[in-house]
Amino acid sequence: MNMTMDMMKGAMSMSDMPMKGMDMSMMEECLEALSACMQACVMCADADAGEGMGRCAAMCANCADMCDAMMRMMLRMNGWDMAVMMSMMESTMAMCRACSAECMMHADMSEHCRMCAMACDQAAMALDKMMGAMKAMMPAM
């Protein structure tokens, strides 16, 4: 994703963005964590389904979908509505944490669940970091 993000950074005019001065490296880090989480969740959901772990499979599938939607929203910077973005980030973070907790219940007997939980935790941390930076940039109301 690095080459793609580098090209996008050069092509996009930050002066028209809702969050002028956004740390693009932080955004890239968040996108990469979300992508890794989505991929881990898809693989874990597939493995869980084959092992008869329906709840874990469903949690992972939902988390993958939310991470994908979050990434798509982040990449549409000209369409950002800060209240909506913050709400979606909070919801995605909550889903990542819930998925991690579910996967951790199986982590001692399932390597894919352990890896998925770690990816979910990383995504939640990256979202939290980005939200903190965004809140600091927002005007006080």
Q: Average pLDDT, whole number, for the chain?
A: 87
Which class does domain 24-134 fall in?
mainly alpha
DSSP-derived secondary structure for 87-140: HHHHHHHHHHHHHHHHHHTTTTT-HHHHHHHHHHHHHHHHHHHHHHHHHHHSPP
Q: Which residue has the higher pLDDT, 137 or 134?
A: 134
What residues does each domain of the chain span? Answer: 24-134
Of the candidates 77, 63, 57, 78, which has an alpha carbon nearest to the alpha carbon of residue 33?
63
Residue 140 has pLDDT above 80, yes or no: no
- Residues 38-93: tens digit of each pLDDT: 999 999 999 999 999 999 999 999 999 999 999 999 988 887 888 899 999 999 99
Q: Which secondary structure element, helix H or strand E, spans residue 34, and what is its range? A: helix 24-50
Q: How confident is the model at residue 15 (pLDDT cuts 50, 70, 90)?
A: very low
The whole-model pTM stands at: 0.85
At residue 116, the pLDDT reads 98
At residue 36, the pLDDT reads 98
Q: How far apart are CA 48 and CA 52, in angstroms?
A: 6
- Contact status, residue 63 vs residue 41, Cβ threshold 8 Å: yes
Q: How confident is the model at residue 2 (pLDDT cuts 50, 70, 90)?
A: low
Residue 139 has pLDDT above 70, yes or no: no
